[in-house]
Amino acid sequence: MVSHKNDSDVNDNTSHSLSQVPLILQEKNLKCVDYTPTSAKKLLEDYGYFANEEDVLFDIERNLFGAFIDDDYEGQLHLSALHSITQSDKDEEPLGIAFWRLVPDHEMNEWFDWQHIGKALSNHKGNDSSNTMCKKKRMVRNNSVESIQKMVNSMHLPSDVVRDEDKGHVEMSHAWIKLELIAVRKHHCGHHLGSLLLACTLYNAHCKYDQSRVLLHIAGGEENIPALRLYNRFGFLKLRSGTAFHKPDRFLYVLGDIKYSLSHLLWKDDTISHDEETHMNTS
């Protein structure tokens, strides 16, 4: 089991603005730990699943643990966990876990409807119906639209510049991280761990792959209020069903720039509402 990299160890091209993530963890005596298939198996044996058996997400979490332990994604599926820093060497129960992965080219090409994604995103820019949306959140969302739209436009270069149409597909699909599951133990509610865990996951993904664009599916859709609040706080954009993605395409959300989100939004603010019971998955 390998601890999350310190700020001094991350890649040089990671923006200084991201350094607040490990610093905040340090202030709160927390650490983000990356698990291997072997250590994940022991974690499961020692503490079991985060979701209860009657929970709709139980099968999803079980399948993700199984896929990670069996290395079904050939190292592209990752498991991170949030731990309290203790004076003993004994590993204690994690406060929360996150499954995330780098999306292969072929999956993004099969999933994205490239001709419609630009239109779907343009509907968001400068057209947020929420009267309470702060200026910075609008900036983050507009930045997401611009970032993703720029990638879409790169696909329409002249044929003498891009001889093979797939070249554009490959360039775009490499720039996506998919969040599969985020879960925090219910008995650890009240400490805003959902926001910290999501921030750590985005930070970890960006440092490891130098990617900025994120895709996720909210389990339970509009009824999953804690998840909606959490991802709204980070500036994620909802894509309407039947627009930018082929099936499954319900309750999909995207973020265009991890660095911009983490450095501009008050996700770490102690005044935020509870989000600790958040679970999120793709299916």
pLDDT exceeds 90 at position 70 = yes
The model's pLDDT over 4-33, given as tens digits with 9 standing for 90+, comes to 444 333 344 345 567 788 888 888 889 999
pLDDT band at 218 (very low <50, low <70, confident <90, very high): confident
pLDDT exceeds 50 at position 161 = no
pLDDT band at 163 (very low <50, low <70, confident <90, very high): very low
Measured in whole angstroms, the distance separating CA 68 from the mean position of its chain's CA atoms is 17
Lowest mean pLDDT among 10-24, 171-185, 211-225, 249-263: 10-24
- More confidently predicted of 97 and 254: 97
CA-closest candidate to residue 226, choices 264, 265, 186: 186
- Model pLDDT, residue 243: 63
Look at strands 252-255 and 30-35 and give their pairing. Answer: unpaired
Query: SS3 breakdown of the chain: % helix, strand, coil, rounded to 5?
Result: 45, 15, 40
What's the whole-number average pLDDT of the chain? 74
- More confidently predicted of 148 and 79: 79
What is the domain count for the chain? 1
CB 96 within 8 A of CB 260: no
- More confidently predicted of 55 and 131: 55
pTM over 0.95: no
When pLDDT is averaged across residues 244-259 and rounded to a whole number, the result is 78
When pLDDT is averaged across residues 159-186 and rounded to a whole number, the result is 64
Look at strands 213-217 and 176-184 and give their pairing. Answer: parallel
When pLDDT is averaged across residues 83-90 and rounded to a whole number, the result is 74
Residue ranges making up the domain that contains 77: 2-281
pLDDT band at 158 (very low <50, low <70, confident <90, very high): very low
Domain containing 187 — which CATH number? 3.40.630.30
